[in-house]
Structure 1
Amino acid sequence: MTETEIETLPAAEPATILFVDDEANILSSLKRLFRPLGYRIFIAESGAAGLQVFEQNPIDLVISDMRMPEMNGAEFLEKVRAKWPDAVRILLTGYADVTSTIAAINKGEIYRYIAKPWDDNDIVLTVKHALERKNLELEKLRLEALTLKQNEALKDLNANLEAKVRERTEEVRQTMGFLEVAHKQLKESYLTSLKVFANLMELREGAMGGHSRRVADYARRLAQRLGLSDSEVQDVMFAGLLHDIGKIGLPDHLLHKPFSALTAEERAEVIKHPAIGQAALMALENMKEAARLIRSHHERFDGMGYPDGLSGIAIPRGARILAVANDYDAVQTGSVLSRRLTETEAREFLLEGRGKRYDPKVADVFLEMLGGIDSSGYAGPEVKILATALRKGMVLARDLVSHDGLLLLSKDYLLDDAMIEQIRSFEQAEGKPLAIYVRPGKE
């Protein structure tokens, strides 16, 4: 045998092996072969003696001869299986007794049988592989027990949460129930992953908790109204649930700060999240299409979005749906603008972005789904001016957007001297005049 053919187990926790044979020379040979490998070795010259060793010591693996007086190998291994089922059992046979070997397999449920005379390399590798398999099974049991313990801890935590959180958890559970019905053919690990991702986002959203669930529901209903197939509707809904998964790595102060209030450096970090979200989900085969939608849900219909600057129908239809559903909820939770919009104002925000931020058809169908909008508030003068002409008390008539498509200030923002100075400084740094639309305000 070469050194590479014999691998020792870690010295800290050596495996324990028992050899049972009525021939002393066989036991000596096995001891000489296995002792240098770092195992703890026990020997017994009969089945009865082997059972005594089991009573007194934890045994990981036992190799027993078949032909022994009083109690043969099959009988011995059957007793071992009954009382110590976790011990790996190997039969050593020196004659072609098919009936006895079959009895050992059936009664002792042996891992493998080895014929005498054995090949040293073969028996060493057999033991090595058997112990590796045993360790994998023990690790599986450990992980299952750990998962059960963590699940129980989570149940205890949920049981003590305030009523509002319990209601939200129930809503998430209902959404997960819909996903399970819609995807009966998905593997259990895939469903579990979706639940974990959704729960992680809910835990971090804080005051905005439920945003992903609401976006998923809006997007699902909108996709159905637009005539998407069942599989496309499901992809849109999954993308809605996980559209902000790329934000998990962001610090808390960025998650709870409106996008319009972010500095240039902070925005550079935040706008990475669609691509990060896609990358995080690409390993899941059934999530590849949803991941593609997540990447593009911040693209704009006019081509001024991110991360790829797509425009028009080059933006996946599901992503165009997500953009409308996401912004409608986000402007009401305060994650986009400097103030939270009312439901009516949110609808007006979508109408203002029709053909610019959003696919006109998608926006129209969504507004129809919500029950329409009173557009009378859009009547009134607006004028395009230079930053140098801005005055305190003016109100933005349209969103103020950078040349890269980033929202700087939202429509209806009341300008003061400090903000006017910031706009002028930003325009000077950009080197290009901004498209600024204002209407007179009340002094």
Structure 2
Amino acid sequence: MPNSSVSSPICFLPTEIHDLVLEELDHESLLNVRLTCKALNFHATRPAFKRLHVWLEENSLQKLLNIANEPHLHKYVKFIEFGMDLFYDIGRAEFARCTILAYCHPHIFLQATPEPAFVKAAWKIYGKYFMKQKNLKKTKRDLAMFARAIAAFSALESVRLVDFQSNVDGRNKGPKLLENEKLLRQGILNAAFIERPVALGRRQLLILIRALAANRDNKIQNLCLQLYTPHITNEGFYSKLSAEDADFAKLAFSNLKRLTLALPPVGRTIRRSWRKPSAESSVATILKAATELEDLQLEFPTQRRRRYTEANPSSRWKDLIQTSCFGKLKSLSIKGAELNEAEFVSFLMQSCQGLRGLHISDTSVVEDSWDLIHETIRALPELADVSLRNLWCRGLLMLHQSTMNPEPLYDYLLKRRTDNPWQSMCQARRLKSHGHI
């Protein structure tokens, strides 16, 4: 909890400019809001801001603690975006390969062997920060600082874990960790050209789980894991959680109502490990812990260089969802998945009897048709809204909502279903497809 004995250095501004200042602060992030408040000598009489963006690095975490210790600010925070730092997960060799191009040749693609002089120059600039990050991780002060801050935000509802934040607050302001700020964030941490796999996301996920679990008043209802980094090793985000961390996950995510997973591609090493009987990814553990889930949104990785006719093996439903069961699920959204018809039907029957909204797009099945899935969808008793787009089967596009007349599908779904609002929904979609509404 925040230190109530800390006196606020902020005093009142003239009433006539309160609204103008508040309007500006509504868009500020933690990386500059403290400076803004001090410069204006501002005392918040209503929520000045509700969304914070924090990097997993000491300077940013300290600013997060400053807000947590500010009694006029911490009680309004509802959303935290938790960003990864590439320096957390790479070694000295990867450091040299990542930094050198951005430092000396930002317009050239990654070179196989960087020149020693370039490596030395890059280390001279970034080495101090690199070692500082390693020490933060080694001493576990990152977990302590983040957990203390999380406990202070009594109104916190949503957390998003992202891999890279090139523009931290969305306004091209980036954190000024070093003098060469733009180079550090845009040229290195957002480098998509890393060739060697990196164990990204493991430490960040564990810190998030343990910090939420340590908060007895945990009221987190919305969690978003937005990870698009293509190079993730078997020790990264997907790796199996220990028994202790799995127990922490149950405490951390027991109150979740909405879970959004935007997942990166999975390498062959991870897929092979999932085939082992005892293997379970961190995603499956999180899903099992979220027993109160009402809204589940899944965005699987897609192969940009391939058409959907070739299913992406890293998007298999069974690999990630496995045997998860949700008794209170009301909304389900799936994008870019490869479904096994029987397994997905079993999931619909076990977890989706109370489902009201179903949205499936850019998805394929490994069987001959979608018939069994359509039949199961039609039988869901509470379903009131359904959206199906770009459904594939054995390399053939079975349904494309924007170019194909959806009337046969809705007629099919409407059979033996005369109860509202299903019938009115199908009728409205059918009329819309004919241009009548």
Alignment TM class, shorter chain as reference = under 0.3
Larger radius of gyration: 1
TM-score when normalising by structure 2? 0.24
More helix by percentage: 1
Determine which structure has greater relative contact order: mean sequence separation of CA pairs < 8 Å that are 6+ residues apart, divided by chain length.
Answer: 2
Could you state the TM-score of these two structures normalised by the residue count of structure 1? 0.24
Q: Which structure features the higher share of strand residues?
A: 2
